[in-house]
Amino acid sequence: MRSLKEVLATPVSGYSLAFFRIVFGVMVVIGGILDFSIDDQFQLENFITPEFHLKYTYFEWVPTWPALWMLKAHIVIAGISGIFIALGLYYRVAITVFTILFAYSFLAEAAFYLNHYYLIILFAILMIFLPMHRAWSLDARRKNWTPLVPGWSLWTFRMQIEIVLLYAGLMKLKPDWLMLEPLGSMLRSLPDHIFGRLVFEDWFVALGAYGTIALHLVGAPLLFFKRTRVWVFCVYCLFHLLNSYTFYIDFFPYLTILATTLFFDPDWPLKVLGRFKPVSPVPVAEQEVPGTLVILMMTVWLAVQALVPLRGFYYPGDTSWTGEGQGFAWRMMLDNHRFYGSRCLVRDPDTKQEWVIDPKDFLTQRQYAAVSLEAKSLLQFAYYIDDKWRREKGVRDAEVKCEVHVSLNGRKPALLVDPDTDLTKETWGIAPETWLLPLKEPFVHWKARTW
């Protein structure tokens, strides 16, 4: 059996990475076309005209676009970079440009966070450093490269995918999911579903809930073995296609299917093409031992990806309720929050004057949903109101107290934060937050709910 060092050092065919690059670039182009065609009014109302934008921790400094034409130009340039990525023309420049532009749009408004946007950024960052353009690219033709890549480049991508798949299953080993929520509620809320009345049968929902866990925790490792790889891949394709049809989750299912193809032999695209016409064999090259820096960077990257999702286990209580440590943790479709009204009391401590405000009057629809469901977003809103009252009403140090009622996975609505806490005096940090109220409402089977 070959050692790990030999596996990482052995050059392999670059055609599977090239296939990924081409399809990824095509997805970027299609995504750019779809984004450009979005109604101008929607883009203005959500990205240009709002005075307030939700931000990620440490990235509060990232501004949004000051004008609609700049947003449109941003989309066009990103789409053009997708063409260059697919063609493999000036590839390093193209993928770097796309990564910066996509990361900017991701960071500009946190209310639009989706797991697959985060996954695209991770893939794009890796693609900057990996030789994805060694085969089937105009760069390779210009420079007369051989279609070979170092083994570590392919294995880095595989391990990144494996981490995502494993956590997608691991994070579902929690009481609510094992008691069929929120999957059951999601399925029952869909109109004219292909499964018909089956979605009202617990055994059917359990098949989906427990099958998803098994697919990720058992199926993902089986992708490494040749005997089981094809069968697991077929099940993954079925799973993701059903997800796409059922929940309309954009490119994520197709991106994951594409990434899973990297577990096949590195020259699998040539083998497929060879069934239709003769293809040139991949040349043989000697081992190229990866340098210490390469191994170190690869190890650090994968270690960070493996450790970041685990930070949620550090916090007490039900973090699905508090939201602590939940971002970037591959918690796909894991929680269903519903809000039942929110209001805030703004008080001038000097004059004792008070204002009762509805966050909906200051936010976009997407922001309002985030502020009403997430304590971290609510805290940012409180900071914004404090600043707005200072600028517009001359209130030197406003107190902002909010009352937000939220339901988690079908439970009775409950208060998310302490309504007597001045949120402007609180922060969102690494330590557990004391101003968050614990979840006390018990889980109730959906047939027994009366609310």
3-class SS string, the chain: CCCHHHHHHCEEECHHHHHHHHHHHHHHHHHHHHHHCCCHHHHHHHHHCCCCCCCCCCCCCCCCCCCHHHHHHHHHHHHHHHHHHHHCCCHHHHHHHHHHHHHHHHHHCHHHCCHHHHHHHHHHHHHHHCCCCCCCCHHHHHHCCCCEEEHHHHHHHHHHHHHHHHHHHHCCCCHHHHCCCCHHHHHHCCCCCCCHHHHHCHHHHHHHHHHHHHHHHHHHHHCCCHHHHHHHHHHHHHHHHHHHHHHCCCCHHHHHHHHHHHHCCCCHHHHHHHCCCCCCCCCCCCCCCCCHHHHHHHHHHHHHHHHHHHHHHHCCCCHHHHCCCCCCCCCCCCCCEEEEEEEEEEECCCCCCEEEECHHHCCCHHHHHHHHHCHHHHHHHHHHHHHHHHHHHCCCCCEEEEEEEEEECCCCCEECECCCCCHHHCCCCCCCCCCECCCCCCCCCHHHCCC
**What confidence score (pLDDT) does residue 222 get?**
97
Residues in the chain: 451
Average pLDDT over the chain reads: 91
- 416, HSE (Cβ side, Cα atoms, 13 Å): 32
What angle do the packed helices 151-170 and 15-36 form, to 10 degrees? 60
Please tell me the predicted confidence (pLDDT) of residue 8: 78
Q: How confident is the model at residue 194 (pLDDT cuts 50, 70, 90)?
A: confident
Cβ-Cβ contacts under 8 Å for 66 (sequence gap 6 or more): 48
Residues 154 and 12: beta-carbon distance below 8 Å = yes
The yes-or-no verdict on residue 255 having pLDDT over 80 is yes
Residue type, 108: A
* Contact criterion met (CB below 8 Å) for 115 and 58: no
Q: Are the CB atoms for 156 and 130 separated by under 8 Å?
A: yes
What's the confidence (pLDDT) of residue 344? 96
Gap between the Cα atoms of 242 and 5, Å rounded: 39
In this predicted structure, which of 22-36, 265-279, 324-338 has the lowest mean pLDDT? 265-279
Measured between alpha carbons, how far is 10 from 4 in angstroms, rounded to an integer? 10
Report how far apart, in Å, the C-alpha atoms of 121 and of each of 27, 63, 118, 147, 450 are.
14, 18, 5, 25, 43
Name the more confident of 76 and 143. Answer: 76
How far apart are the C-alpha atoms of 258 and 264, rounded to whole Å? 11
Q: pLDDT band for position 213 (50/70/90)?
A: very high
pLDDT, position 304: 95
Judged by average pLDDT, the poorest of 248-252, 356-360, 367-371 is 248-252
* Other beta carbons within 10 Å of 21: 26
Residues 6 or more apart from 255 whose CB is under 8 A from it?
24, 27, 116, 119, 120, 123
Which pair of tokens denotes residue 226? 């040749």
Domain edges within the chain: 4-314, 336-448
163-177, 328-342, 353-367, 379-393: least confident range: 328-342
For 31, how many CA atoms within 13 A lie in the half-sphere containing its CB? Answer: 24
Task: Tell whether the model's pLDDT for residue 196 goes beyond 90.
Answer: no
At 252 the pLDDT is 86
Between CA 82 and CA 97 the distance in angstroms is 10
Confidence of residue 424 (pLDDT cuts 50, 70, 90): very high
Nearest-angstrom CA–CA distance, 52 and 75? 22
Nearest in space to 363 (alpha carbons), one of 151, 173, 109, 141: 109
101 band by pLDDT with thresholds 50, 70 and 90? very high
Q: Which value, to the nearest 10 degrees, does the dihedral of the CA atoms of residues 64, 331, 119, 190 take?
A: -80
Distance CA 179, CA 34 (A): 38
Q: Quick one: pLDDT band at residue 146, thresholds 50, 70, 90?
A: confident
pLDDT confidence of 289, banded at 50, 70, 90? low
pLDDT at 276 over 80: no
The yes-or-no verdict on residue 87 having pLDDT over 70 is: yes
